[in-house]
Amino acid sequence: MKKDVIVLLDAGNSMGDALPGDLLVTASTSKFQATLSILSDFLDTLAFGDRITIVTFKSTSAETAYPPVIIKSSLR
């Protein structure tokens, strides 16, 4: 079964804050960096024919950062 995915990615100022110290990450890792790492891992799961759209948003606006795309080959 093909996937049809829309990712909403928070790009607001608070995403630049460091992650809480009790998480098993380096102290300098921001929320946004951690989110991009997770998103990258997720993209590796997509296969031929899957569709993905990435929309970023802030408190005042939203925009399509990565328009709808049909995966034509493995991203791995």
What's the pTM value of the predicted model, to 2 decimals? Answer: 0.66
- Percent of the chain exceeding pLDDT 90 equals 0
User: Which pLDDT tens digit goes with each residue over 27-60?
Assistant: 677 778 888 888 889 988 888 889 888 888 887 7
Tell the burial category of 50 from Cβ atoms under 10 Å away from its Cβ (0-12, 13-18, 19+): middle
Tokens of 49: 């024919």
- CA angle 20-26-28, nearest 5°? 80
* Residues 25, 27, 30, 31, Cα dihedral to 10°: 50
Domain residue extents for the chain: 4-70
Which residue carries 């998480």 as its tokens?
A: 23
Which pLDDT score, from 0 to 100, does residue 8 have? 86
